[in-house]
Each structure stands twice: as structure tokens, then as C-alpha cells.
Structure 1
Amino acid sequence: MVWLALDGRPALVRGARRGIGAAVVTALVEEGVRVVATDVDRAGVETLAARHGERVTARPLDVTDATAVEALVAETEGTLGPLDIAVNVAGILRDGPVAGLSDEDWAAHFAVNTTGVFHVSRAAARRMTGRGRGSIVTVASNAGGIPRAGLAAYAASKAAAVMFTKCLGLEVARQGVRCNTVSPGSTMTDMQRALWTAGEEEASTRRVIEGDLASYRTGIPLGRIAEPSDIADAVAFLASDRARHITMHDLYVDGGATLRA
């Protein structure tokens, strides 16, 4: 708690019910942050909140609905006070080659992974700039910076979210608001496991770590797949005053997998 000095600050985390989102909530709570945790899955986010007691308030939220986002951010400030931290985590991934990608799948990726980031970040920035402080952190993906076969819609939507966040950061820097992204590589989440063959987790893990020439993927130099907490710790750091001179930055947390291409 002494290190990040976040005790008592209000935060909004979208996409909080599991995986990286749940880990972000935990990391912030451990630093004394009061969190409104949101997700389209009401039951899931309420279960998460129950584990943390009064530090976490659960609210259902469809981030593609701009009106609902504005209302929830206003409610958060009415309940917890001026919002200091906003974290975008929610995302979807539907893999497959471009030739087989439906219009619906393409639109869904951008609705959640990009437009949802726009809705939450805009609502937060409108309030933060008037107070001269605040931190907005978006969880993107290293796929947004290096081509991945079968992930065109996901990669494009994440790349768009990164550049949006950088542009927003440039616009609000003079008002004391910082905007950064964290780009994870392969992380032990349900989204990662969904890409693997059922019953072959050990073999799939090894392929990710060692790389796959057939799909033009490098391995992971550090020799391990990230845990959600690895990503959450980076988010908490960027949200804190320890990162007070960092903005418009895209922090790769991928064990060196992209060789920072």
C-alpha cells in the first residue's frame, strides 16, 4: 500500500468478472482502492464483489451502450466520489481466417474492444479533466502490434484501442490526466484456453512457449505464460502516482514474445 499510495481512491473497472479484469480488481483492492466493478455478466461480477466485501461494488454494464456508461460513471461518482482511476479490460475474441469472418463478428469485436473503450474513457475523461487529475488504463493486446494469423478482427480492434488511448492522452495531458495501455501476450485466462484443443492444455502451453513456425509465431523468451496478476500489477502501477510522468505509453507484458517488433 505504501508503494503505490492508492488508498481510498475511487476506481471503475470494466470487464471485471474473471481473468485479467478480476485480477485488476484484486490488485487495486489490495492497494486500498474502492472499486466499482462492472461487467455484462451481472451474476459473475456480483460473485467477484462478494469476495472483496465493502471495497467492491458490483454493477452490470453493457459498454456498447453509451447512455448506460454515462449513467454508471455518474452513479460511481455520486457513490464513491470523484473518479480517479478508470480501467478498460472487457474484450472478446473470435478467431478464424479473414475469408471466413462474418460481418457480425467483425462488428462485435469493434463494438466491445474499441467502442466500449471510447465510451468509458470519454465519460471518465470528461470528469477528470475538470479536476486536473486522473488515470485511464486500457488493457489491449500484443496482437495489436504484430500480425497474428486468424486474429485479424481482434488484432485490429485492439490496435485501434491503443491508438485511441494515445490520442486521448495527448488531448488531456495539459489537464493532468494520464492515459496508457497495457498489452498482454498469452495469459492464463478462459480466452486463452478457448484457443486450445480440449484436453491438450499441457501440449498447448508448450506450443505457446516454444512458438509455432507454421503460424508465424515466436515463442516466449521468459519461458512462461503470464498469470492475470502479472497484467494486473502493470495496470495498478500505471494507475498510480508512481507512474505520474508516464502517459500515452503502451506497456507490453508478454515475456518478450513479440521481440517488441
Structure 2
Amino acid sequence: MPEHIPNESHAPGEFAGRTALVTGAGQGIGAAVATALAALGAHVVATDRDAHGIDEVAAAAHGTAGTIKARVMDVTDSAAVTAVIDDVVQAHGSLDILVNVAGILRSAPVAELTDADWADTFAVNTTGVFHASRAAASHMTARGSGCIVTVASNAAGIPRTGMAAYAASKAAATMFTKCLGLEIARSGVRCNVVAPGSTDTAMQRALWPEGRTEVPHSVIAGDLETYRTGIPLGRIASPQDIADAVLFLASDRARHITLQELYVDGGATLR
């Protein structure tokens, strides 16, 4: 369970009275985002297919300035997503923030990718963003305020061997979020993207050699054989690093920022 590390750049109670829904909140970046929003006063609905993970996240938030309510939700199920978001709006009066974090990774060379690998990856990483964003946007535009932040990946902006399905799905989610943001900007709703690089999550660790607990040298230094650049800052991100970027874009301090893509990758993509 990620421990929330207070960031002095965020004022206590900054999100007081606001309602946020976070997908993929059962672990990793999603859990960090949900925890950080609650610590700053938001009423958070933490969703995931994994009930155990979000129950732990909700329990850990007891005593914080805000609240976290766990809600099982599969982003690939359009009707279920719409029902959950409608319930949230009915219960809280509004949905102020949506953070799309739910994602999966099927890593393999293109020649070895199965049809199921491709379809499943897009179902969660792209269509899931569509389902949640469409449902949330309908309420936000009617109210005239709100923000959507999609957590994509720096892989959406640079080719990676063995990650074609993941990179393509994240690139699609990124452009979808920007197009949605353009369509609904006049309603006062902002849509932005955070693009993490290598981050210390279960998904990242699954790429390491079995039993490895320390970051492999190639992740930091790069790997010429796979055309991978290193990380200039010399470290991978923590989930909290990504959460801090999400919180900024969701805050009033970013009120004039929309259609943007913020890379949080230690300089790995040299952008």
C-alpha cells in the first residue's frame, strides 16, 4: 500500500468538497492518486476490478481530510461504468474530477502478440478511457465545470520493442483525451494527460527478471540492443511522483491548462 507523502506544494484541504473518481485504484499509481486526493480533502470513489485492492486503499484513508469509498468497476463494461458514475453524481451532487488510471500490459514482439492480447489491451487502456470519460463528461459539461486526467505512458510518444500493443493503446487514449478536451472546452471542462515513464509498480516489476527487487541497470542506463534510452535523472518514478502531477492538473492552479500532455519520466524520452 503506497504511503502518502505530503507535498508542501499542495495546500491542505485543496480538494475539500470535491468528488473524484479514480479508475485502476487498487494498486500502484491509481492507489497513490486516490490516497493523495483524499489526503487533500476530496471525496474519492476508488474503482477497480480487484475488490481487495480498493478495500485496502479505502481502509488506509481512514482519518484523512477526505474520504475514499471502494467501488468495484470494470472499465471495459460500458453500462457498468455509466451506472457507477451516475450513482456517484446522484450521491454527491457532482463529479468534479475523473482520473483514468486503469491499464494492463501485454509485452511481446508483434509477431508473438495474439488477437486476445491486442483486444484486451485496447479494451482496458483505450476503450476503458472512452467509457469513463464519456460518462463523466456528460455530467461535467451539464454543470459547466470539471476536469479529466488520463494517465497514459511515455511509450505513447516513443517506439518501444515488445510494447506495440501497449504503446498503441496509450497513444490512442492520449489523442482521444485531447480530442474530447477540445470538444468540451467551451463548457469549462479541462482534459489533460500525464505520461509516466518507468514507475515502481507491479506492472513495472513484472518486466524485471524473476525474483529481482532492485531496478535493473538497463532500466536506468538504457539498452542499445533494444534501442531504449536511459533515464537522465538516474531513477525510476515512485507512484507518488505521478500522483503529484495528476493533482496539479486537477487543481485550480491548472485552471488555464487543457489539451496538454505532461511527461513524468525523468527525461527518458528526451522531450
Q: TM-score, normalised by structure 1?
A: 0.97
Question: Aligned pair 1:124/2:136, yes or no?
Answer: yes
CA–CA distance in structure 2, aligned partners of residues 50 and 228 of structure 1: 19
Structure 1 residue corresponding to 2:46, chosen from 28, 37, 49:
37
Question: Aligned pair 1:115/2:127, yes or no?
Answer: yes
Q: By how many angstroms is 1:198 displaced?
A: 1.2
CA–CA distance in structure 2, aligned partners of residues 2 and 63 of structure 1: 31
Equivalences, count: 259
Structure 2 residue corresponding to 1:2, chosen from 8, 11, 33:
11
CA–CA distance in structure 2, aligned partners of residues 164 and 93 of structure 1: 19
- SS of 1:178's equivalent in the other structure is strand
- SS of 1:137's equivalent in the other structure is strand
- SS of 2:45's equivalent in the other structure is strand
CA–CA distance in structure 2, aligned partners of residues 62 and 49 of structure 1: 18
CA–CA distance in structure 2, aligned partners of residues 234 and 46 of structure 1: 24
Question: Aligned pair 1:149/2:161, yes or no?
Answer: yes
Distance of aligned partners of 1:146 and 1:255 in 2 relative to their CA distance in 1, 3 Å threshold = same
CA–CA distance in structure 2, aligned partners of residues 138 and 161 of structure 1: 8
* AA aligned opposite 1:176: G
Match of 2:229 in 1: 218
Q: By how many angstroms is 1:191 displaced?
A: 0.2
* AA aligned opposite 1:223: G
Match of 1:82 in 2: 94
Question: Aligned pair 1:205/2:216, yes or no?
Answer: yes
Match of 2:253 in 1: 242
Question: Aligned pair 1:176/2:161, yes or no?
Answer: no
CA–CA distance in structure 2, aligned partners of residues 174 and 5 of structure 1: 25
Q: By how many angstroms is 1:166 displaced?
A: 0.3
Q: By how many angstroms is 1:44 displaced?
A: 1.5
Structure 2 residue corresponding to 1:21, chosen from 30, 43, 47:
30
CA–CA distance in structure 2, aligned partners of residues 4 and 146 of structure 1: 37
What is the CA RMSD across the aligned residues, in angstroms?
1.2
CA contact (8 A) 1:13 1:36 kept: yes
Q: By how many angstroms is 1:3 displaced?
A: 7.0
CA contact (8 A) 1:4 1:242 kept: no
> Percent identity over the alignment?
66
CA–CA distance in structure 2, aligned partners of residues 70 and 133 of structure 1: 19
CA contact (8 A) 1:178 1:246 kept: yes
Match of 2:177 in 1: 165
- What stretches of structure 2 of length at least 5 have no aligned partner? 1-9
Question: Aligned pair 1:72/2:81, yes or no?
Answer: no
Distance of aligned partners of 1:3 and 1:242 in 2 relative to their CA distance in 1, 3 Å threshold = farther
* Per-residue CA distance 1:173-206 (angstroms, 9 max, x = gap): 000000001000000000000001013343x432
CA–CA distance in structure 2, aligned partners of residues 231 and 81 of structure 1: 28
Deviation >2 Å, runs of 4+ = 1-5, 199-202
* Per-residue CA distance 1:146-189 (angstroms, 9 max, x = gap): 00000000000000000000000000000000000100000000
CA contact (8 A) 2:21 2:99 kept: yes
Q: By how many angstroms is 1:5 displaced?
A: 2.6
CA contact (8 A) 1:4 1:240 kept: no
CA–CA distance in structure 2, aligned partners of residues 200 and 173 of structure 1: 45
* AA aligned opposite 1:40: R
Match of 1:46 in 2: 55
Q: Kindly indicate which of the two structures has a greater share of residues assigned to helix.
A: 1
Distance of aligned partners of 1:253 and 1:76 in 2 relative to their CA distance in 1, 3 Å threshold = same
